[in-house]
């Protein structure tokens, strides 16, 4: 039973409302901002800061997924396209109260005639992508990047890419997540592109498969 | 509600948490617990290829209860939530390592008695 986009939105909304404790958005933005600034001072290299933010995000993502799974009761996604939908409508909504829009791309989804009840979900070919377009970004509410940061190539909210990578890796998907554009850099939109590298096979204790 | 024990097994099949409630179960040596947990992990790995359920992060929760127990999955759901909060959100806890968290112990006691 395919869950429709609308149903995901509802689930996301309910999860958000169900959270007993919410954080003051400004405190959150200030904390994150202080973190980025400190990293810039410590590393003095914007590429390195991007990397560190991504690593931190990875650490968060690997933990956050447990919370997500524990609370959302979402079933397994049939393909990578559905993963994108769930990430945007349920994931982002329940944690950040924003719903980025999703566009799908990359290689065409494996025309799997066997959409029957086979054991494994119809896998999407590695190379499939989805792009999240954020209309609002709670991390970057009051931020204006200085010249050096713009030239240095800083992706201010790069922690989000790490979170996506970490969370998806815990549920057996290896992905790369990168910013394509950011309004903080003067672009039209803020977009994160997530590309499926491969599905991770569960480690079976017995010899080889 | 007769719950006798709770085990948490990590992705690699290692036992990271075990707790007994009441004396419904005879005590096993810690080695025996580890062996049992590893066996369960193996079985789980095999059966999950036959009938995949929801997405899982590979962590398994085992609740040992009396046969009459009917609300086991509700309880397990709550245990998972406590795990997500007390364990995963503690930045000093290394995932996959044995769980040594007072917060987790306290909340499990409150939940399972």
> How does strand A101-105 pair with strand A129-134?
antiparallel
B92 touches chain A (CB under 8 A): no
- For B24-51, write each residue's pLDDT tens digit: 677 788 888 888 889 988 888 887 766 6
| ipTM entry | 0.75
- Which of A73, A76, A170 comes nearest B52 by C-beta? A76
B91 contacts on A by Cβ (under 8 Å) = 59
- Which of B42, B52, B56 comes nearest A205 by C-beta? B42
For residue A120, what pLDDT is reported? 42
B42 touches chain A (CB under 8 A): yes
Could you tell me which residue, B4 or A32, shows the higher pLDDT?
Answer: A32
Q: How far apart, in whole angstroms, are the C-alpha atoms of residue A60 and residue A64?
A: 6
Q: What is the mean pLDDT of chain B?
A: 84
What's the per-residue H, E or C state across chain A? CCCCHHHHHHHHHHHHHHCCCCCCHHHHHHHHHHHHHHHHHHHCCHHHHHHHHHHHHHHHHHHHHHHHHHHHCCCCCCCHHHHHHHHHHHHHHHHHCCCCEEEEECCCCCCCCCCCCCCCCCCCCCCCEEEEEECCCHHHCCCCCCHHHHHHCCCCCCHHHHHHHHHHHHCCEEEEEEEEECHHHCCCCEEEEEEEEEECCCCCCCCCC
| pTM check: above 0.80 | yes
For residue A100, what pLDDT is reported? 97
Q: What residue of B is the nearest CA neighbor of A73?
A: B54
Gap from B56 CA to chain A (nearest CA, Å): 6
List average pLDDT for each run of 10 residues in chain A, which is 209 residues long.
Answer: 81 92 91 96 96 97 93 89 95 96 78 45 74 96 92 97 97 96 96 95 50
For residue A207, what pLDDT is reported? 40
Which range of A172-176, B29-33, B71-75, B80-84 scores highest in mean pLDDT? It is A172-176
A35 contacts on B by Cβ (under 8 Å) = none
User: At residue B65, what are phi and psi to the nearest 5 degrees?
Assistant: -135, 170
B94 touches chain A (CB under 8 A): no
CB pairs A-B closer than 8 Å:
69
Gap from B98 CA to chain A (nearest CA, Å): 15
Gap from B17 CA to chain A (nearest CA, Å): 17
């Amino acid at each position: 039973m395919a869950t429709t986009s609308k149903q995901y939105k509802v689930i996301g909304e309910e999860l958000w409302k169900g959270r007993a404790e919410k954080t003051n958005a400004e405190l959150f933005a200030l904390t994150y901002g202080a973190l980025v600034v400190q990293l810039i001072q410590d590393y003095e290299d914007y590429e390195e800061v991007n990397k560190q933010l991504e690593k931190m995000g990875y650490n968060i993502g690997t933990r956050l997924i447990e919370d997500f799974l524990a609370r959302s009761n979402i079933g397994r996604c049939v393909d990578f396209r559905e993963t994108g939908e769930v990430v945007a409508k349920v994931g982002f909504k329940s944690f950040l109260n924003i719903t980025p829009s999703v566009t799908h791309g990359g290689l065409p989804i494996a025309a799997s005639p066997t959409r029957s009840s086979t054991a494994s979900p119809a896998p999407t070919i590695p190379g499939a992508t989805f792009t999240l377009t954020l209309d609002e970004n709670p991390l970057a509410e009051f931020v204006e990047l200085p010249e050096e940061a713009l030239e240095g190539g800083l992706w201010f909210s790069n922690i989000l890419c790490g979170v996506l990578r970490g969370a998806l890796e815990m549920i057996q998907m290896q992905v790369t997540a990168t910013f394509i554009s950011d309004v903080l850099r003067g672009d039209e939109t803020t977009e994160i592109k997530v590309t499926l590298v491969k599905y991770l096979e569960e480690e079976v204790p017995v010899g080889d498969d | 509600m007769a719950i006798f024990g709770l085990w948490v097994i990590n992705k690699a099949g290692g036992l990271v948490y075990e707790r007994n409630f009441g004396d419904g179960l005879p005590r096993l040596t810690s080695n025996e617990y580890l062996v049992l947990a590893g066996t369960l992990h193996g079985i789980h790995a095999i059966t999950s290829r036959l009938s995949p359920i929801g997405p899982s992060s590979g962590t398994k929760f085992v609740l040992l209860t009396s046969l009459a127990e009917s609300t086991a999955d509700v309880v397990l759901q709550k245990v998972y939530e406590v795990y997500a909060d007390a364990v995963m959100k503690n930045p000093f806890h290394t995932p996959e390592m044995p769980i040594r968290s007072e917060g987790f112990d306290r909340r499990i006691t409150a939940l399972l008695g």
